[in-house]
């Protein structure tokens, strides 16, 4: 049998339906209540920075970056990052996030924020925000707010209200 190969690409509008289905399977309807979802609502994902993984043509993972503003200045929100359950723990999630971060850096962005599990994202270089540094427009567990500097010192220097970009 031929081994199916893993391929990474940037998201295109043609992928959005399959990505939504993947997120539905991973997060269920509860995803709509999340504050991070509210920030993304009505804002198109930044497709040139958002990545997908395919195995044999089938979408198995996606990482989305969306424009936000933090303290009035531009930034990016990472998420959702999702890998289809049978394909987890093979490095796909980490590779998707790394590729999106590299694309964002190459495009000249300074700062990426997310709300997620610190043990996973700290491995990728994200650091925890200090208490009260970033104010989200809804309830967020403060211990799960992380940032990633695409430019040195960008996160430390920034604070304030997080709004849709």
By the rule CB under 6 A, 94 interacts with ligand COA? yes
Residue 58 main-chain phi, psi, to 5 deg: -90, 130
CB closer to ligand COA, 32 vs 73: 32
Pick one of 19, 49, 59, 81: the residue that binds ligand COA (CB under 6 A).
Answer: 81
- Scan residues 113-152 and list those touching ligand COA (CB under 6 A): 116-117, 119-120
Residue 70: half-sphere exposure toward Cβ, Cα within 13 Å:
24
- Burial label for 77, CB within 10 Å (0-12, 13-18, 19+), is buried
What DSSP character marks residue 2?
P
Residue 90 interacting with ligand COA (CB under 6 A):
yes
DSSP for 9-54 reads: EE--GGGHHHHHHHHHHHH-GGGGGSHHHHHHTTS---GGG-EEEE
Nearer CB in complex with ligand COA: 41/157: 41
Compute the least distance from the CB of residue 85 to ligand COA, in Å: 7
State in angstroms the smallest separation of the CB of 27 from ligand COA.
6
CA distances (Å), 100 to each of 29, 65, 124, 147, in order? 25, 7, 12, 14
160 binds ligand COA (CB under 6 A): no
The smaller minimum CB distance to ligand COA, of residues 67 and 126, is found at 126
Q: How far is the CB of 72 from ligand COA (least distance, A)?
A: 25
CB of 123 to ligand COA, least distance (A): 7
How far apart, in Å, are the Cα atoms of 140 and each of 12, 119, 132, 149?
30, 17, 11, 21
User: Contact residues for ligand COA (CB under 6 A)?
Assistant: 26, 79-83, 88-94, 116-117, 119-120
């Amino acid at each position: 049998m031929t081994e199916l190969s893993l391929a990474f690409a940037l998201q295109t509008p043609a992928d959005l339906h399959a990505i939504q289905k993947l997120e539905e399977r991973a997060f269920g309807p509860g995803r709509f209540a999340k504050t991070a979802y509210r920030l993304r609502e009505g804002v198109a994902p930044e497709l040139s920075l958002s990545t997908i993984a395919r195995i044999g043509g089938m979408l198995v993972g996606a990482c989305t970056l969306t424009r936000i503003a933090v303290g009035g200045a531009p930034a990016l929100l990472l998420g959702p990052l999702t890998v289809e359950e049978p394909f987890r723990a093979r490095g796909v999630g980490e590779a998707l996030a790394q590729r999106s971060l590299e694309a964002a850096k190459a495009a000249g962005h300074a700062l990426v924020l997310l709300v997620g599990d610190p043990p996973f994202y700290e491995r990728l270089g994200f650091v925890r925000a200090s208490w009260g540094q970033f104010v989200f427009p809804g309830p967020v567990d403060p211990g799960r707010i992380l940032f990633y500097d695409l430019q040195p010192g960008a996160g430390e220097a920034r604070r304030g209200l997080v709004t849709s970009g």
